[in-house]
Amino acid sequence: MPLIIPKNLIGEETLKRERIFTMDEQRASSQDIRPLKVAIVNLMPKKRETELQFIKMLSNTSLQININLIRMGSYEPKNIEAEHLNKFYKTFNEIKHEKYDAMIITGAPVEKLEYEKIIYWDELKEILDYAKENVFSTMFICWSAQAALYHYYNVEHNLSENKIFGVFEFEKKKDDKILKGFDDEFSVPTSRYTYVKSEQLKDIEELNILAEREDTGVGLIASEDHRFIFNFGHWEYDKETLNNEYRRDLDKNIKIDMPVNYYKENDISKGIKVTWRSAGNLFFSNWLNYCVYQETPYNIEEIKNKKVAKFGGSSLSNAKQFSKVKNIITSKSESDVVVVSAPGKRYSKDVKVTDRLINVAELNTETKDIEKLIKKLEIELLKKNDDLNENLSELKTRFYGIAKDLGIEERCTPEIDVVFKAIESSTSKDFIVSRGEYLNAKIMANYLNYEFIDAKDLIIFGEEDNVNLEKSYEKISNIIKSKSKVVVPGYYGSDELGNIRTFKRGGSDYTGSIIASALDSEIYENWTDVNGVMTDDPRINADAKIIKSMNYKELTDIIDSGAQVYQRDAIEPVKNKNITIRILNTNNPDGEGTIIKD
């Protein structure tokens, strides 16, 4: 028989591949058969994967089933998009007035936490209480089985020294209709850190232990009336599920043993052996058939004709009026159904409850408008994040490319990755924009086999964003003079607290000038993309000529007139020691360039 699930919950190709027979609600409503109402309370992080696993198990029966997916309203999961949840899931508040033939409450990766410290524990307790009165049979899976035993019977779970992980063989302890057709031994996939011992349940007469092991604790429990099924394993697991969990934990460097009895000959290279699927399909089929379908009432709401009496708001304005209504109902009326209005006025200047609710509705509308604005901002934030990631990706690719083309990719890639992780977590603009010089210097040092010296250890900023030349000269002298060959990034230094500080654009000129002055260099070469200082902009005037020599004042005057040939602040350190500046063209290394000195 088909399942009735929301349209587009699972793609057509997946349904065909997994051989799941479905039917839409319109077609189902025309059939003279009442579908079973089954709720799946999905607590797992990977909700799509879990949905598909349970839907496959429930589809292996001739019964027609209408499935509702339920999520926690008190917790926003991080591993699935909100659109999927809003489209296909209901919260408990949306279904708490309905009744269900059956309910499945999945496991959850929270077993090491105390129940009361789980974010959605209060809401889950409401669901567990609701299930007792409004669900004919509820199956609890893995962690939720332990949570339900704790809530209903005050049974604590125990923490295992090692993860109970793999496919475990269980011996059938007694015959039960939910195990009809089972062999004496059957396999169950298991993945948990906690367990319950059979002796903890010995005084609870209404519970029957159907399977257990010394090393895993109880595996399967059913209440006497089969209204509660406690399943500590994962018959719903696909072939690769345990393998994916194992590799995930290994990738996270979590100490984990290989899942037992899962790989052929316990050798991961030989592949996986599936030994639980037939038992799992039979188990879910038995539950739906023998514990639900054959027992649940045809009319789940059991509606019958009732005598109706209506009482207005003024009749129910306070507790005294309620007492009057009760007396009428119990002594003068034979009504089975009582229809009531909202509380009316208690006194002349009082406000009717409905009028206050109208005010609430208006406030709700205003609130929704604000929420829409927030949503719009969230969309804008996502766009900004996309732009950010695109920029980071392009930048990283550019540095990768330089290192690869130079043949030093293996030496430079780890450093590039570290720097970009630091960029992603930083909010310091100075730090972020300085990383271009930093990485270029790292790559160049690798390429030349020179030593890398970080500019933050050489150039020290003082107050009001000015460089403390005295301290910087001392640092440069102490650090660089003892070195043979070094590469230093330009454009930045650090303040007294070690925070990165940058110069204005073109600041690499200033870095070179300070270092040249500190080291008493004879000459300071400044390589750029022009042949020297020109009489005019060569991109505009083809007749522009190279000025072969000039003094510091002439260079200052040219810069002040708007020429971007050198950073103005970079003149003073070399001028004070009359160090010669040569401006040269990297693309024309044999050119004479421009010499600047007094």
Angle between helices 47-58 and 277-286 (to 10 degrees): 70
Strands 185-195 and 207-213: unpaired
Burial of 105 (0-12, 13-18, 19+ CB in 10 A): buried
Which active-site residues does the annotation give? 142, 234, 236
Burial of 223 (0-12, 13-18, 19+ CB in 10 A): middle
- Residue 300: helix, strand or coil by DSSP? coil
For residues 511 and 489, what is the distance between their CA atoms, to the nearest angstrom?
Answer: 8
Cα separations in angstroms, 164 against 155, 192, 219, 232: 19, 5, 12, 11
How many CA atoms, within 13 angstroms, populate the side-chain half-sphere of residue 18? 22
For residues 372 and 378, what is the distance between their CA atoms, to the nearest angstrom?
Answer: 10
Beta carbons of 286 and 180 less than 8 angstroms apart: yes
Task: Identify which of 468, 547, 460 has the alpha carbon closest to the alpha carbon of residue 499.
Answer: 460
Cβ-based neighbours of 392, under 8 Å, separated by 6 or more? 420, 423, 424
- Which helix (H) or strand (E) covers residue 193, if one does? strand 185-195
Any idea what the Cα angle at residue 580 is, between residues 576 and 585, rounded to 5°?
Answer: 135
- Within 10 angstroms of residue 134's Cβ, the number of other Cβ atoms is 18
Cβ-based neighbours of 597, under 8 Å, separated by 6 or more? 549, 551, 552, 578, 579, 580, 581
- Within 10 angstroms of residue 406's Cβ, the number of other Cβ atoms is 14
For residue 343, give the DSSP letter.
Answer: P
